[in-house]
């Protein structure tokens, strides 16, 4: 699963917004938008951990969420989205 799909699913499940995520991570709304459009993935380890913590239902499941998150980032890097630029 691409990171953008993973993130979109978690945002929906958490009933949060892109703006709230940007504020929580102290990133610009444009950064979150780029993640959701598969233009970029988080590179900063602190961002990755903070995303996992934010979307973990409880402390005991952070490892599972972190693994899922990291796998989605890796998948996205290995299978980039093809865009048709005219």
Q: What does the domain layout of the chain look like in residue ranges?
A: 3-78
Q: What pLDDT, on a 0 to 100 scale, did the predictor assign at position 56? A: 86
What CATH number was assigned to the domain covering residues 3-78? 1.10.260
How far apart, in whole angstroms, are the C-alpha atoms of residue 18 and residue 37?
A: 12
pTM of the model: 0.79
With 80 as the cut, is the pLDDT of residue 5 above it? yes
Q: Is the pLDDT of residue 83 over 70?
A: no
Digit-coded pLDDT (tens) for 20-63:
999 999 999 999 999 999 899 998 889 988 999 888 878 788 88
Q: Which residue has the higher pLDDT, 17 or 85?
A: 17
Give Cα 75 to chain centroid, integer Å: 12
Contact 42, 77 (CB under 8 A): no
């Amino acid at each position: 699963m691409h990171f953008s799909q993973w993130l979109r699913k978690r945002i929906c499940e958490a009933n949060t917004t892109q703006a709230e995520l940007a504020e929580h991570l102290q990133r610009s709304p444009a950064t979150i938008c780029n993640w959701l459009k598969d233009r970029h993935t988080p590179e900063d380890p602190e961002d990755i951990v903070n995303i996992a913590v934010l979307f973990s239902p409880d402390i005991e499941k952070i490892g599972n969420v972190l693994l899922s998150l990291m796998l989605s980032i890796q998948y996205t890097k290995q299978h980039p989205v093809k865009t048709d630029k005219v």
